[in-house]
């Protein structure tokens, strides 16, 4: 494992410490009434592999698009290697694999990677890019005659072609089967082992835990947790206690013994607790035991609690709401 979270924040107008690949400081971005990114502070050190984890509409793609200079922030500062994103992209320091990349028909894999490489000042050798992307045997194959998994590898090779120091991958394994996923992550790790920096977005905590040094959970456009997979897993220890609120107030719940997070789903309260016995005793004292259930918390439960997800509402529509409106998100934590 390489270096984990630095916990430092680069403030606008201050010098960026050497070794910082990515710096977001107080970044916001709205789309009409929707607040897609709501005050994002994030720093990624060179050499880290970081997963940006969040449910649909959490703000992952908007964050990535601002990082790549494809979208200007509404306010705040985005820096890549201490520079404006567009400058770092032009210099070939960043390679990206976005969700909507379309393959170019009728050229071979090697021709396409060669074309792309030629547009960068210090490209990767084409054979090396093909090898790293797991395409060594497909160089002569036409792009439009590849399987979905192979086409995804071509997009990975395109991202590598400029020999970037930072690779940004927006949901790179979406639509890949299990075997193709495994091959993809194998390739990605080969690139990371060279000391490069990787930022990838995903919906899946397991995937983040398997492939990242550090997991940054975002929800409603802000960081709600930031730490190693092991630290996030530790938080997944404990239990979940749920019960019917039956009109009772939610005010005292977060202060009950053992409770680390509270989520309200309709008329049900879901408490994450490190001491379910103490929590249940306290609930009994408050006469809040109707429909009581206690269960061990898994990784996905931890993620749902971190993001306040689990209801049937549109997360995009909720973007305009504050955490307090939503009730009971845990505070931003570094774990
Ligand atoms: N161009 C746009 N116009 C209007 N709203 C947008 C636009 N792009 C994003 N949004 C909204 O901003 C919010 C964040 O979207 P974003 O695509 O960044 O989320 P995401 O975490 O990448 O989601 P997903 O996992 O579904 O790809 C959502 O509510 C989305 O509907």
Cβ burial of 307 (10 Å; 0-12, 13-18, 19+) is buried
ipTM of the complex: 0.97
CATH code at position 121: 3.40.50.300
CA 325/CA 195 separation, integer angstroms: 42
71 plus 217 within the same structural domain: yes
117 plus 207 within the same structural domain: yes
Angle at Cα 124 formed by Cα 122 and Cα 127, nearest 5°? 150
Grade residue 260 by pLDDT with cuts at 50, 70 and 90: confident
> Does residue 45 sit within a domain?
yes
The SS3 of residue 3 is coil
Question: Is 178 or 46 the better-scoring residue by pLDDT?
Answer: 46
284 plus 319 within the same structural domain: yes
Query: What is the atom index within ligand 1 of the atom nearest the CA of 65?
Result: 18
Q: Cα(319) to centroid of ligand 1, in Å?
A: 10
> Does residue 189 sit within a domain?
yes
Q: Cα(31) to centroid of ligand 1, in Å?
A: 9
94 plus 238 within the same structural domain: no
CA 133/CA 127 separation, integer angstroms: 10
Q: Cα(331) to centroid of ligand 1, in Å?
A: 23
| Whole-number pLDDT of residue 309 | 57
Q: What would the pLDDT profile of 262-279 be if each residue is shown by its tens digit?
A: 888 889 999 988 889 999
Grade residue 234 by pLDDT with cuts at 50, 70 and 90: low
242 plus 214 within the same structural domain: no
| Whole-number pLDDT of residue 101 | 62
**Which residue owns the Cα nearest ligand 1 atom 7?**
31
288 plus 312 within the same structural domain: yes
Grade residue 23 by pLDDT with cuts at 50, 70 and 90: very high
Can you tell me the mean pLDDT for 246-272? 89
Q: What would the pLDDT profile of 89-113 be if each residue is shown by its tens digit?
A: 888 899 998 876 666 678 999 999 9
70 plus 169 within the same structural domain: yes
CA 157/CA 263 separation, integer angstroms: 42
Please give all residues whose beta carbon lies within 6 A of any atom in ligand 1, as ranges. 31, 34, 36, 54, 56-62, 203, 316, 319
Tell me, letter by letter, the H, E, C secondary structure of 47-109: CCEEEEECCCCCCHHHHHHHHCCCCCCCEEEEEECCECHHHHHHCCCEEEECCCCCCCCCCEH
184 plus 142 within the same structural domain: yes
Contact 62, 247 (CB under 8 A): no
């Amino acid at each position: 494992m390489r270096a984990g979270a630095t916990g430092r924040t680069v403030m606008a107008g201050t010098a960026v410490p050497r070794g910082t690949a990515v710096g977001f400081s107080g970044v916001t971005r709205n789309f009409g009434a929707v607040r897609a990114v709501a005050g994002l502070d994030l720093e990624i050190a060179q050499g880290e592999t970081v997963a940006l984890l969040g449910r649909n509409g959490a703000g992952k793609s908007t964050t990535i698009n601002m990082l790549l200079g494809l979208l200007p922030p509404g306010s705040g500062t985005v820096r890549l290697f201490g520079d404006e994103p567009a400058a770092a992209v032009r210099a070939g320091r960043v390679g990206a694999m976005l969700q909507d990349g379309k393959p170019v028909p009728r050229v071979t894999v090697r021709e396409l990677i060669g074309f792309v490489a030629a547009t960068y000042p210090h490209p990767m050798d084409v054979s090396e890019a093909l090898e790293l992307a797991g395409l060594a045997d497909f160089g002569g194959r036409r792009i439009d005659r590849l399987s979905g998994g192979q086409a995804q590898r071509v997009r990975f090779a395109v991202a590598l072609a400029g020999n970037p120091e930072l690779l940004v991958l927006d949901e790179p394994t979406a639509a890949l089967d299990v075997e193709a996923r495994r091959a993809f992550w194998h390739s990605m790790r080969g690139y990371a082992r060279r000391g490069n920096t990787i930022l990838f977005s995903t919906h899946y905590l397991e995937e983040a835990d398997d492939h990242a040094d550090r997991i940054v959970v975002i929800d409603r456009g802000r960081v709600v947790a930031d730490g190693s997979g092991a630290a996030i897993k530790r938080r997944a220890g404990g239990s979940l206690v749920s019960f019917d609120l039956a009109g009772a107030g939610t005010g005292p719940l977060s202060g009950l013994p053992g409770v680390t997070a509270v989520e309200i789903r309709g008329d049900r309260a879901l408490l994450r607790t490190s001491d379910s016995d103490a929590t249940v005793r306290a609930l009994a004292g408050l006469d809040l035991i109707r429909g009581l259930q206690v269960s061990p918390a898994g990784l996905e439960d931890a993620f749902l609690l971190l993001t306040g997800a689990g209801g049937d509402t549109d997360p995009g529509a909720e973007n305009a709401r504050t955490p307090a409106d939503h009730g009971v998100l845990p505070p931003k934590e570094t774990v």
